[in-house]
Amino acid sequence: MQRTSLALARRAIRSTRTTPAPILSTRHSTQIRFASALPPRSSAFAQLTESNITDLRALLSAPTSLMSTLDGSASEDDLRPFNDDWMNKYHGKGQVVVKPKTVEEVSKVMKYCWDKGIAVVPQGGNTGLVGGSTPIHDELILNLSNLNSIRSFDTVSGTLTVDAGAILETVDNELASHGHIFPLDLGAKGSCQIGGNVATNAGGLRLLRYGSLHGSVLGLEVVLPDGTIWDGLGGGLRKDNTGFDMKQLFIGSEGTIGIITGITILTPKRPSAMNVAVFSLPSYEAVQKVYTETKSHLGEILSAFEFFDKQAYDLVRRHQKEGGEADRKVFETEGEFYVLVETGGSKQEHDEEKLQGLLENLMENDLILDGVLAQDTTQYHSLWKLRELIPESAGKSGSVYKYDLSVPVPKMYSLVEKMRARLSESGLFKEEGGGRIREIVGYGHIGDGNLHINICADKYDAEIEKVIEPYVYEIVAAERGSISAEHGLGVMKAPYIGYSKDQTSIDLMRRVKQMFDPKGILNPYKFIL
């Protein structure tokens, strides 16, 4: 039996840091529309006219808060960033973007739209992956970017109240200066807005540690479809059992029953000690065993447990090299799989000792092939990049079909294998390269049972889509999984909800939508149809 101390196992990771290309550059200029697959425009909604624009302008304090092709204040190109989704897969035809500066303005705009029967799509950072935050047809785009202040922060309780349009990373940086952390972190943090995070019940990288937003959001302020402002912020109380917990319905409602304008959330103390290690492993079997050992050794300090496959790792390394990064080896022995383990604790010596105990155990039991532990902040970020750059690297490699699935951990990776087998059989994917599908990579959050499959194709194409869907949903349903672990339904998965929810559930949801928005003006054509 070979015993290895952490000191031995540690070695300085050569700087794998890259200057990441702006994420927006991963958008493609080719515009593919599968208009046939989208629901037709409903005649129930009013067609916007120049006169509406005049009325709407009168409700807003600043002329720049409204841009429209109808009154010539904006060109189609100006509106494109609001009409095109993050993946450049969905392309709305909205003619008006309204960016209110206050909750009262949101309320006035909604009341106007309610009265006139104008359909509205609420929009945050527009970083969603299921076409939920862009118009399907000509819905008015109500963008929350101008509502972006931190309203208050209580350092004793850690309670934060913030406008919906505040950027996640900006807020987290502000919290860091008070020794606190936002209980959510995800790849798009530099662009996504907290209102959108809550509206889509974002999960992200540290759900394992800080739990879901259903637990950490303490209150919401919401503008209802008819313009009523509902103050459900609740004074920042951690406990309040006075009636139905109405705010919960808005968490994950994807902008279909109200527009979240303010959020009160409980932020934990920021761990003073953070460590990250990445291991290479021989098999998915080993990934699961390492997870069990990690939980047992690290207990309360474990803050993330991510995995990715060899294909994802190779893709990121290739992307980094193409970005000009020196081609240095990260691992002596590469593996079929990789896991990233992060700890966040309050005492560095204690956390290192626990990590050392884990590492010794993993090496003694031959569960890992190699491991790298970050020695400083630069290396901490470098190691995280191996995981965080996967979506961007996939985007660089083509048009990406993204699936975001929940299944029991032991079954997770078999879905990637099934997908590879199916696409190989169809001739679309060739291991040796040259197929219309270039890459199929699997990664995700083991601790949450959440798998991401990215399928990189030359371009979006109805034939490819037909081979993938609904097959991918069928294999998830066979495991009683979820067809959307965290991305939501949007327009992309709305027709497929039946793979995850039974008719009773769908009926209940329709009644909720009907109760809040009987005219159906809020984010139509999506979510619950």
Q: Where is 222: in which H helix or E strand? A: strand 217-223
> Residue 255's closest CA among 135, 144, 132?
132
Q: Which of residues 22-51 bind its own copies (CB under 8 A)?
A: none
For the chain, the residue count is: 529
Q: Which of residues 419-438 bind its own copies (CB under 8 A)?
A: none
Residue 448, interface with its own copies (CB under 8 A)? yes
Residue 301, interface with its own copies (CB under 8 A)? yes
Task: Out of 298, 316, 359, 441, point to the residue binding its own copies (CB under 8 A).
Answer: 298
Burial of 362 (0-12, 13-18, 19+ CB in 10 A): buried
Stretch that binds its own copies, among 19-27, 62-70, 382-390, 446-454 (CB under 8 A): 446-454
Nearer CB in complex with its own copies: 325/479 = 479
Give the Cα separation of 355 and 297 in Å (integer): 7
Residue 4, interface with its own copies (CB under 8 A)? no
Q: Least distance to its own copies from the beta carbon of 187, Å? A: 16
Nearer CB in complex with its own copies: 54/292 = 292
Amino acid letter, 509: M
Q: Which of residues 257-286 bind its own copies (CB under 8 A)?
A: 257, 269, 271-272
Task: Out of 482, 524, 525, 526, point to the residue binding its own copies (CB under 8 A).
Answer: 482
Give the Cα separation of 263 and 148 in Å (integer): 11
> Residue 282's closest CA among 333, 342, 340?
333
Residues 308-327, mask of contacts with its own copies (x by CB under 8 A): --------------------
Task: Out of 133, 275, 450, 454, point to the residue binding its own copies (CB under 8 A).
Answer: 450
Nearer CB in complex with its own copies: 9/301 = 301
Residue 487, interface with its own copies (CB under 8 A)? yes
Q: What distance lies between CA 243 and its chain's CA centroid?
A: 31
Amino acid letter, 108: K
Burial 380-389 (b: 16+ CB within 10 A, else e): bebbbbbbbb
Amino acid letter, 34: F
Task: Out of 1, 72, 156, 431, point to the residue binding its own copies (CB under 8 A).
Answer: 156
Burial 333-358 (b: 16+ CB within 10 A, else e): eebbbbbbbbbbbeeeeebbebbbeb
Q: Least distance to its own copies from the beta carbon of 449, Å? A: 5
State phi, psi for 442 to the nearest 5 degrees.
-125, 140
Nearer CB in complex with its own copies: 354/420 = 354
Beta bridge partners of 289: none
Which token pair is 402?
């993204």
Q: Which of residues 451-480 bind its own copies (CB under 8 A)?
A: 480
Nearer CB in complex with its own copies: 265/457 = 265
Stretch that binds its own copies, among 59-67, 290-298, 324-332, 365-373 (CB under 8 A): 290-298
Who's near 156: CB < 8 A, 6+ residues apart? none
Stretch that binds its own copies, among 49-57, 116-124, 310-318, 443-451 (CB under 8 A): 443-451
Residue 232, interface with its own copies (CB under 8 A)? yes
Q: Least distance to its own copies from the beta carbon of 359, Å? A: 15
Give the Cα separation of 25 and 392 in Å (integer): 10
Residue 177, interface with its own copies (CB under 8 A)? no
Residue 443, interface with its own copies (CB under 8 A)? no
Beta bridge partners of 341: 277, 305
Q: Where is 82: in which H helix or E strand? A: helix 76-83
Residue 493, interface with its own copies (CB under 8 A)? yes
Contact 160, 264 (CB under 8 A): yes
Site size for its own copies (CB under 8 A): 91
178 CB neighbour count, 10 Å cutoff: 15
Stretch that binds its own copies, among 165-173, 200-208, 308-316, 317-325 (CB under 8 A): 200-208
Residue 131, interface with its own copies (CB under 8 A)? no
Burial of 251 (0-12, 13-18, 19+ CB in 10 A): buried
Give the Cα separation of 81 and 84 in Å (integer): 6
Q: Least distance to its own copies from the beta carbon of 440, Å? A: 22
Q: Least distance to its own copies from the beta carbon of 328, Å? A: 35
Task: Out of 32, 38, 46, 512, point to the residue binding its own copies (CB under 8 A).
Answer: 512
Contact 282, 336 (CB under 8 A): yes
Residue 518, interface with its own copies (CB under 8 A)? no
Q: Which of residues 336-395 bind its own copies (CB under 8 A)?
A: 344-347, 350, 353-354
